[in-house]
Structure 1
Amino acid sequence: MVFNNSHCIIFLLVTIIIYPSICYGQEANSLYSRATYYGSPDCYGTPSGACGFGEYGRKIYDGKVSGVSRLYRNGTGCGACYQVRCKVPGHCTDEGTKIVVTDHGEGDHTDFILSVRAYSDMATSGMANHLLAYGVVDVEYRRVPCTYYGYNLMIKVHEHSRFCNYLAIVPIYQSGAFDIEAVEVWQADCKEWKGMRKAYGAVWDMPNPPKGSLTFRVQVSVNGEATKWVQLADVLPDQWKAGIAYDTYLMLD
């Protein structure tokens, strides 16, 4: 195909018009805040995070996890993923780091209190120690879908559960960009859904749960707007055990 001068001029004009709009669209999805980090012996997260994830919350995403302040949203923000990029000239990669919210914390006007692994992951090669020396940095961030290759959504029975008098559950490997707003369990003898209480963080509980295998449904939302109920059939066996994570065979995308 042969391009004459008029074709080149038209192509250049289209590029000039479209390219800034693409860049603007990407920037429009980003927000700005500050980030700091917390120490741990092995640079991973902490198993005692406010979301109630336990050991899962320590090493998920290879320990690239974070406590958040406003984004915690009374626990609804637990399990959400964000791309966080620092804004220190000459120190930061364009990609930044991708983190999972596993804890709540307040810092020096910061939205993110990152694990050392996550904080260092924002740095260009050889600049991690220099970035750590700042202590607090300006960041750009945006919500991104969580991706867990090889894992479906799982329902972990919290260690504080007591068969069969008290049941607490924690959804883990929550993919996509959904928030779980409500959880209900099917009570077969009454033919009705019974709501679970938001105990704290990502933990939902109820006294005297129904007998037999348990079916749940979760109400999921995007950007704070409730979208739909998703049913999780026969997730827990009739002899469920505390501390065990049960596969739902479902991915929330």
Structure 2
Amino acid sequence: MWPPALPLVLLLPLALASTALTHSHSSSFFPTASPSLYDWSSARATYYAASDPRDKVGGACGYGDLEKAGYGLATVGLSEALFERGQICGACFQVRCVEDTRWCISGTSIIVTATNFCAPNYGLRPEGGGHCNSPNKHLVLPIEAFEKIAVWKAGNTAVEYRRIKCRKEGGIRFTIDGSNIFISVLISNVAGAGDIVAVKVKGSRTGWLPMGRNWGQNWHVSADLLNQPLSFEVTSSDGHTVTSYNVAPKAWNFGQTFEGKQFES
């Protein structure tokens, strides 16, 4: 039987990237942690078990089918205090269980990417079941990830987390959607800081056009970019910028994904 009162994870329609969990024992699915960017901070964590295959397709960051996107089960939903209204999407965290010697698996940690939002429940107090209410710092993990650091019976357990650099295979991915002169681009598979703060797009007949954040890591612009090769300029939260020229060919179509340059991890 699963522990009661697990927090609700908000699921939204999503699409593409690549990171993985890590464990103290080597595994191709659980690789070694990257160098830390920040100090350890305290939080609490619970887990969810997908009862329906559709539960794995969704998330408030817009990445779509997380298996096809390359995230697999190396994901985390963040509470309101950590989610930053979607700005944090794509950031990578190292997480370890602390304090509870009965349930923690000593010497282990996991690496996960922020792909979802744990919605608050204001019908309950933060200390009385509203796990993801502000000001709580709360992480919601797939059970497969949770069980790399703690026994499932731990339920709502104390953890420590820290931001780390993301490691990705291949380049940044640009999934183009929209219609006519409305262009929406999902930015995924981002190494380095992982989260994006600014995006520009350029057609062969335009200058650089700033894109606005639609939701998560979906960015949009209203411009006639059809029948033009597209270039992208992507800036991460640590101030680094990568420019990928002519990523999409002249004959690109909505629904296609293209790969550009990558940040250093």
Query: How far is the alpha carbon of 1:240 from its aligned partner?
Result: 2.0
CA positional deviation for 1:213:
0.7
TM-score, normalised via structure 2 length: 0.71
Q: Is the 8 A contact 2:204 2:230 kept in 1?
A: no
- 1:178 Cα offset (Å): 4.4
Letter matched to residue 246 of structure 1: F
1:195 and 2:217 matched: no
Shift of 1:177: 2.1
Cα-Cα RMSD: 2.5
| Alignment match of 1:85 (pick from 68, 81, 96) | 96
User: What is the alpha-carbon distance in structure 2 between the residues aligned to residue 83 and residue 228 of structure 1?
Assistant: 22
Matched, 1:118 2:145: yes
Q: 5 Å matches for 1:1-150?
A: 29-41=39-51, 46-56=56-66, 60-69=70-79, 70-87=81-98, 88-90=100-102, 91-106=104-119, 108=131, 109-123=136-150, 131-149=151-169
Change in CA separation of 1:60 and 1:189 when aligned onto 2, cut-off 3 Å? closer
- TM-score normalised per structure 1: 0.74
Gaps of 5+ in 2: 1-35, 120-129
- Give 3-state SS (helix, strand or coil) of 1:72's partner: helix
Residue 196 of structure 1 aligns to a residue in which SS?
strand
User: 1:131-189, CA deviations, whole angstroms, 9 ceiling, x for partnerless residues?
Assistant: 3223210001111111123x22111224xx22x33221111111122431111112543
Give the AA of the match of 1:140.
E
Relative to structure 1, the CA distance from residue 178 to residue 40 in structure 2 (aligned partners, 3 Å threshold; closer, same or farther) is closer
Instruction: Say if 2:265 is the partner of 1:246.
Output: no
**Aligned mates of 2:67, 2:220 — CA distance in 1:** 19
Provide closer, same or farther for how the CA distance between residues 153 and 187 of structure 1 changes in structure 2, counting only shifts above 3 A: closer
Report the Cα offset of residue 59 of structure 1.
Answer: 6.2
Kindly indicate which of the two structures has a greater share of residues assigned to strand. 1
Larger Rg, first or second structure (1 or 2): 1
Is contact 2:92-2:194 (8 Å) kept?
A: no
After superposition, give the CA deviation of every residue in 1:90-120 in whole Å (9 maximum; x if it has no partner).
4323232111110111451342111112111
C-alpha contact 1:154 1:173 (8 A) present in aligned 2: yes
Q: Which residue of 2 aligns with 1:204?
A: 219
Between structures 1 and 2, the one with greater helix share? 1
Question: Alpha carbons of 1:64 and 1:44: their partners in 2 closer, same or farther (altered >3 Å)?
Answer: farther
Is the contact made by 2:242 and 2:263 (CA closer than 8 Å) also made in structure 1? no
Asked whether the equivalents of residues 153 and 174 of structure 1 are also in contact (C-alpha less than 8 Å), the reply is: yes
**1:39 partner amino acid:** A
